[in-house]
Amino acid sequence: MLRVDVVKQLGAFALEVSFASEGRAIGLFGASGAGKTSLINMIAGLLAPDRGMIVLDGETLDDTTKQLHIPAHRRRIGYVFQDARLFPHLDVRKNLDYGRRMNGLAPDPAQEARVIDLLNIGHLLDRRIGALSGGERQRVALGRALLARPKLLLLDEPLGALDQERKAEILPYLTRLRDEVGIPIVYVSHDPDELRLLASQVAVLKAGRIVAFGGTDVLPV
């Protein structure tokens, strides 16, 4: 499903990663500074590899030998950032609808209702972003990414900015998302417990390299 084989020099930091996974829920584990975010930025197309290739479901997204780099906006890869990054000038409803409009997709009220219901954000639709709590923001960000109908969903420590209580609030939504939505996910975290709960396959990243790859048993206890 996802095949990544890339090299990227970022200042003094060298990222050299190669893995292929058929998993529907891939975990990327590593301490901060291990290169997790750079790696998924490359998968998203926000960062171009110096060398190598990225292939998703048989479609080549990057291939430096052919000077191929599909820009982020044409990849249809959803991205949920740690800091949500909702658009402050739009209300929740317009944030949710943004990806559909940008991709020129027809409205799909049934899908909208499903996502809104899944994430329990129906009561927030007319709110401004400034009036949302951290947990609500993250749920809206998840909804926004899902409603762009992506082929893959990247989740970059979506719980990282939340306290324990909020984490516990969001986690059930993430497991439902994994089980009910049918979009493969790459879940980035430095928390082994989160990954044990959410990922079926895990790559352990350390100093820009993959040091272990396999089931959740490769995670430290």
Partner 1 sequence: MFDISPTEWTAILLSLRVAVVATLVATPLGIGVAWLLARGRFWGKPLVDAFIYLPLVLPPVVTGYLLLLLLGRRGLVGEWLADHLGIVFAFRWTGAALACGVMSFPLLVRPIRLSIEAIDRRLEQAASTLGASPWKVFFTVTLPLALPGILAGMVLGFAKAIGEFGATITFVSNIPGETQTISSAIYSLIQTPDGDTAALRLVVVSVIIATAALVASEVFAWRATQRLHGH
In the complex, the residues that contact partner 1 under the rule CB under 8 A are: 44-46, 71-79, 81, 83, 85, 87-89, 98-99, 102-103, 128-131, 144-145, 148
User: Which is nearer to partner 1, 84 or 204 (by Cβ)?
Assistant: 84
Residue with the two structure tokens 């750079």: 38
User: Which is nearer to partner 1, 77 or 188 (by Cβ)?
Assistant: 77
| CA dihedral for 69, 57, 153, 51, sign (positive or negative) | negative
Please report, as a single letter, which amino acid is at residue 161. A
185 membership: H or E segment, kind and range:
strand 185-189
Rg (CA), the chain: 17
Q: How far is the CB of 61 from partner 1 (least distance, A)?
A: 13
Q: How far apart are CA 84 and CA 209, in angstroms?
A: 27
Q: How far is the CB of 49 from partner 1 (least distance, A)?
A: 17
Name beta bridge partners: 154: 79, 186
User: Which is nearer to partner 1, 103 or 216 (by Cβ)?
Assistant: 103
Q: How far is the CB of 119 from partner 1 (least distance, A)?
A: 16
Q: How far is the CB of 84 from partner 1 (least distance, A)?
A: 9
Q: How far is the CB of 103 from partner 1 (least distance, A)?
A: 4
- Vertex 184, ends 41 and 132: CA angle to 5°? 70
Contacts of 1 (CB under 8 A, 6+ apart): 21, 22, 23, 24, 56, 57, 184
Q: How far is the CB of 154 from partner 1 (least distance, A)?
A: 8
Are the beta carbons of 179 and 6 closer than 8 angstroms? no
User: Which is nearer to partner 1, 49 or 202 (by Cβ)?
Assistant: 49
User: Which is nearer to partner 1, 19 or 98 (by Cβ)?
Assistant: 98
User: Which is nearer to partner 1, 85 or 93 (by Cβ)?
Assistant: 85
Extended beta strands in 11-130, E state: 13-21, 25-29, 51-56, 59-63, 68-69, 77-80
